[in-house]
């Protein structure tokens, strides 16, 4: 949105000299324009805005000429006419002493976003800036819940959506920036309870986002990168090296991004990692019946489990899998199985 110190309609400016009424006059001028254009109510714009953010990873920078694609998408979803989209309001930027024009529709989106932020449905750009270093409107947990209700997406799907809310972003940031500990334990021995809490669900989403993003949304073994047709769900999963069922922690050093096939084969011990991040395939592979692992005549199983290849790693070495997590998997899942 364009930066305006004090906005006023040109007519109001000429007819009054009482500066204490600036805001009041501006708002009444705006409401009059919104009404004359029959623009949607702010409530409707909020719903459309939250729904659009749900499909765009949860954040947006601005609602002006610099983000025409987004404001057009919102206008389309609300069925606005050409006149409603383009009608310009004029204001006087007092400090600069000039008249400025901008679409009333852009102003309405800004007002709706501002109201949504005051209701806790979005984080205000000044707050997001402190967290991410970027001035963006970002969905909050309250906002994503409302967006999912409006879009009729079951709330149970929240865990798999690629949307980053303000709260999840906070957890992701702490995971990304954590410094590795030499005698790190990937097992949380205090985690006796399997109780699922709001906090544990948030932490799980923070873990998933941190891992999936660190590995560029690719399987670190085969490189597969794929998203659903509605652009809502990535194929790749954030796998725990020490699984949850063994009290594995939701730490970035206890995870890696794997496709469904490599997630399953890793979890059941068909392969493990060496400390140099190369793959060691279970020797039992030679005993697998010859008719297993084929898909349409192609030997998927043996072709996708190549020994000695090095996995793809995140650029930052501080967030690569921890040697203690790798050792745990080798000793408790992989070796245990081969010695049986
Ligand atoms: Zn894979």
Q: Say if CB 220 and CB 256 are below 8 A apart.
A: yes
Which of 85, 119, 153 marks a domain boundary? Answer: 119
Number of other CB atoms surrounding residue 10 within 10 Å:
13
- Most distant pair of Cα atoms in the chain: their distance: 91
- Measure the CA–CA gap between 212 and 265, rounded to whole angstroms: 18
Which residues is 227 bridged to in the sheet?
Answer: 234
Instruction: Answer whether residue 211 is part of any domain.
Output: no
Domain boundary, last residue among 69, 90, 119: 119
Domain identity same for 222 and 334: yes
Task: Please give the model's pTM, rounded to 2 decimal places.
Answer: 0.78
Tell me if 191 is assigned to some domain. Answer: no
Handedness of CA 100, 104, 110, 116 (dihedral sign): positive
Tell how far the Cα of 281 is from the centroid of ligand 1, in angstroms. 14
Q: Is residue 43 domain-resident?
A: yes
* Residues within 5 A (CB) of ion ligand 1: 219, 221-222, 224, 259, 262
* Averaged pLDDT for residues 38-59: 94
332 and 222 share one domain: yes
Query: pLDDT tens digit string along 119-157?
Result: 999 999 999 999 999 999 999 999 999 999 999 999 988
Q: Tell me, what's the pLDDT at 219?
A: 98
Range of the domain at 227: 217-339
* Average pLDDT, integer, range 95-105: 81
Q: What is the structure's pLDDT at 14?
A: 43
Task: Measure the CA–CA gap between 59 and 143, rounded to whole angstroms.
Answer: 11
Ligand 1 centre from 272 Cα, in Å?
A: 13
Identify whether 154 is part of a domain. Answer: no
Q: What percent of the chain has pLDDT over 70?
A: 88
pLDDT tens-digit readout, 266-297: 999 999 999 999 999 999 988 889 899 999 88
Tens-place pLDDT, residues 34-47: 999 999 999 999 99
Domain count, the chain: 2
Final residue in a domain of this structure, among 95, 119, 143: 119
Taking the centre of ligand 1 as the mean of its atom positions, its distance from the CA of residue 224, in whole angstroms, is 6
Q: Does 206 map to a domain? A: no
> How far is the centre of ligand 1, averaged over its atoms, from the C-alpha of 205 (Å)?
21
Ligand 1 centroid to Cα of residue 21, in Å, is 63
Q: How far is the CA of 225 from the centre of ligand 1 (A)?
A: 9
Q: 3-state SS of the chain: helix, strand, coil percent to 5? A: 50, 15, 40
Q: How does residue 20 score in pLDDT terms, banded at 50, 70 and 90?
A: very low
Centre of ligand 1 from the C-alpha of residue 11, in Å = 65
Shared domain for 335 and 225, answered yes or no, is: yes
Ligand 1 geometric centre to CA of 304 (Å): 7
pLDDT for res 201: 87
Residue 189 lies in a domain: no
195 within domain boundaries: no
Report the separation in Å between the CA atom of 265 and the middle of ligand 1, taken as the mean of its atom positions.
Answer: 10
C-beta neighbour count of 58 within 10 angstroms: 26
> How far apart are the CA of 75 and the centre of ligand 1, in A?
40
Question: Quick check: is 179 in a domain?
Answer: no
The Å distance, Cα 301 to ligand 1 centre, comes to 11
Q: Is the model's pLDDT at 2 over the cut of 50? A: no
């Amino acid at each position: 949105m364009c930066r305006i110190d004090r906005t006023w309609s040109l007519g109001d400016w000429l007819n009054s000299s009482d500066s204490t009424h600036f805001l009041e006059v501006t708002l009444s001028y705006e409401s009059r324009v919104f009404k004359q254009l029959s623009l949607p109510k702010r409530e409707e714009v909020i719903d459309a805005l939250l729904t659009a953010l749900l499909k765009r990873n949860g954040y947006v920078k601005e609602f002006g000429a610099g983000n025409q694609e987004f404001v057009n998408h919102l206008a389309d979803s609300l069925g606005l006419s050409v006149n409603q989209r383009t009608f310009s309001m004029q204001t006087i930027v007092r400090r600069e002493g000039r008249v400025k024009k901008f679409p009333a529709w852009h102003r309405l989106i800004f007002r709706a976003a501002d109201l949504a932020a005051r209701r806790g449905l979005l984080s205000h750009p000044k707050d997001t800036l402190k967290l991410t270093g970027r001035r963006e409107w970002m969905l909050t947990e309250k906002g994503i819940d409302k967006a999912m209700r409006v879009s009729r997406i079951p709330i149970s799907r929240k865990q798999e959506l690629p949307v980053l809310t303000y709260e999840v972003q906070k957890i992701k940031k702490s995971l990304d920036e954590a410094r590795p500990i030499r005698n790190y334990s990937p097992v949380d021995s205090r985690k006796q309870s399997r109780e699922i809490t709001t906090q544990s669900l948030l932490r799980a989403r923070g873990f998933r986002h941190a891992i999936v993003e660190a590995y560029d949304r690719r399987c670190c073994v085969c490189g597969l990168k794929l998203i659903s047709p509605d652009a809502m769900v990535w194929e790749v999963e954030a796998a725990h090296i020490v699984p949850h069922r063994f009290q594995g922690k939701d730490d970035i050093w206890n995870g890696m991004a794997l496709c469904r096939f490599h997630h399953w084969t890793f979890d059941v011990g068909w392969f493990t990692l060496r400390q140099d991040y190369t793959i060691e395939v279970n020797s039992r592979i030679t005993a697998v019946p010859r008719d297993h692992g084929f898909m349409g005549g192609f030997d998927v199983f043996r072709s996708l489990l190549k020994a000695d290849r090095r996995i793809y790693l995140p650029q930052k070495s501080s967030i690569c899998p921890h040697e203690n997590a790798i050792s745990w998997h080798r000793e408790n899942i992989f070796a245990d199985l081969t010695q049986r």
